[in-house]
Structure 1
Amino acid sequence: MIKNIGSYLIVILAICSLAFYSFAPEKQVEFREYSTKGLALNYNMVNDSISHTHAEAYNTDIASSYSPSLGKTYVGFKEALGYKESRGNYFTVNSFGYLGKYQFGKETLKIIGIHNPVQFLKNPELQEKAFLANAERNKWILRRDIKNYVGKKINGVVITESGILAAAHLSGPGSVKKYLRSGGAVGFSDAYGTTISYYMKKFSGYDTSFIKPNKKAKVNKA
């Protein structure tokens, strides 16, 4: 009888143990341990080897560092273009007076609502806003040309939307219109000899759908 009672107790204890582990609450994950706070997530693409830059001087610390490839995204597009223009240096001015990471002219800045070049040069966030606003305005001006020419080949280069927008940043949308509508016969080159065709090829194939056409694009400085 005592032996039977002992057996029952063992069975009951085993059942209780299984029930406890079956219904015990799972350990809560501490997501704070995986926070990205404090990490540098805004990368500059600086590993593209080039022989020409609009800037006469650049930040050697930026130029000597490397970061993950941003691929053909919008961020990849603007960072690649910024590196081509100035090697990603927000604070440079070239001998022709073009300013910052994206080498803006003062007249272009006025069009998108920036009238203080000194403030602009000191403010990287403002420069990023200016790049987007200018791209939105150019995309609206060139909307019909984007529709009509993307996928075609001019001077051996397949035309893409990102190539068109990059070329517009280089030369202005009016020059890009003339180039496309003349089948490449009416070209443009800047003071350093960089051509529309070169920019069309170098910056082809990026996803620029993030840029929305906006006739009245202005920089919100707030």
Structure 2
Amino acid sequence: MRKSIASYLILTVTICILLFMSFSTSETIDLSKYSTSGLELNYTVSQDHSVKDNAIASIDLNKPISPILGKSFVGFKEALAFKESRGDYFTVNTLGYLGKYQFGVNTLKLIGIHNPKLFLNEPELQEKAFIANTARNKWILRRDIKNFVGKKLNGILITESGILAAAHLAGAGSVKNYLRSYGIDNFEDSYGTTIEYYMKRFSGYDTSLIKADRKAKAI
């Protein structure tokens, strides 16, 4: 009985203390002390008057937003990857071509990759493979790049990026045949995509970052 009374008293005292503390700290804050009136305000980002008021409201939030890569090298490789696989590192097509850039097993061997399973599960290795293969193709086609860039074949302006994209599609040898036949020998892959189509679609990108390398390896 005594324990019950003691517990009740302790609980009552505790509640009273908490109520006292809550009322004693409820002072009014004078917000006028924090006014910015009369201050010169500086911003790290200037106002862009060229942006319309409804620009943000017009954005479709259901669509993915990606940076504008333009005609940069990154723009080149990402555009090519989207055409090849929609940018999927882990896909294999019906003919057995692998990954984001759709490499064949024989091409991988040429750049030092002998384990297709490892390749398919390593995005970083796939990026290295694309760089190495493009550098190797640039070396093989160095004379053709020098002789044909800036000319037109079948109404298509020949550019270095178009040549390198076509070599990724069909191999450097097929691109040589196309150029040296002045557009007559137009290779077509199993899905009906031609060298000429890649020449046109991937024209005008900056591929100067890639240095021609006969012995380029991904590993």
- Deviation of residue 160 (structure 1)? 0.1
Percent identity over the alignment is 73
Q: Give, in whole Å, the separation in 1 of the partners of 2:180 and 2:75.
A: 28
Which residue identity is paired with 2:117? V
Q: Equivalent residues in 2 for 1:6-45 (5 A)?
A: none
Which residue identity is paired with 1:144? R
Q: Give, in whole Å, the separation in 2 of the partners of 1:132 and 1:66.
A: 26
Q: Give, in whole Å, the separation in 2 of the partners of 1:100 and 1:66.
A: 23
- Deviation of residue 218 (structure 1)? 0.5
Q: Give, in whole Å, the separation in 1 of the partners of 2:119 and 2:65.
A: 26
Q: Give, in whole Å, the separation in 1 of the partners of 2:75 and 2:117.
A: 27
Which residue identity is paired with 1:117? P
Find the structure with the greater CA-based Rg. Answer: 2
Number of residue equivalences: 157
* Helix, strand or coil at the partner of 2:216: coil
Gaps of 5+ in 2: 1-62
Q: Give, in whole Å, the separation in 2 of the partners of 1:90 and 1:163.
A: 23
Which residue identity is paired with 2:119? F
Partner of 2:75: 76
Q: Are 1:120 and 2:119 an aligned pair?
A: yes
Q: Give, in whole Å, the separation in 2 of the partners of 1:84 and 1:213.
A: 24
* Helix, strand or coil at the partner of 1:128: helix
Q: Give, in whole Å, the separation in 2 of the partners of 1:183 and 1:69.
A: 34
Q: TM-score, normalised by structure 2?
A: 0.71
Partner of 1:167: 166
Q: Give, in whole Å, the separation in 1 of the partners of 2:178 and 2:110.
A: 23
- Deviation of residue 68 (structure 1)? 1.5
Q: Equivalent residues in 2 for 1:124-139 (5 A)?
A: 124-139=123-138
- Deviation of residue 219 (structure 1)? 1.0
* Helix, strand or coil at the partner of 1:219: coil
- Deviation of residue 187 (structure 1)? 1.1
Gaps of 5+ in 1: 1-63
Please identify runs of 4+ aligned residues in structure 1 that moved more than 6 A: none
* Helix, strand or coil at the partner of 2:166: helix
Q: Give, in whole Å, the separation in 2 of the partners of 1:94 and 1:66.
A: 27
Which residue identity is paired with 2:142? R
Q: Give, in whole Å, the separation in 1 of the partners of 2:65 and 2:126.
A: 22
Q: Give, in whole Å, the separation in 2 of the partners of 1:129 and 1:137.
A: 12
Q: Give, in whole Å, the separation in 2 of the partners of 1:205 and 1:217.
A: 24
- Deviation of residue 69 (structure 1)? 1.3
Which residue identity is paired with 2:128? K
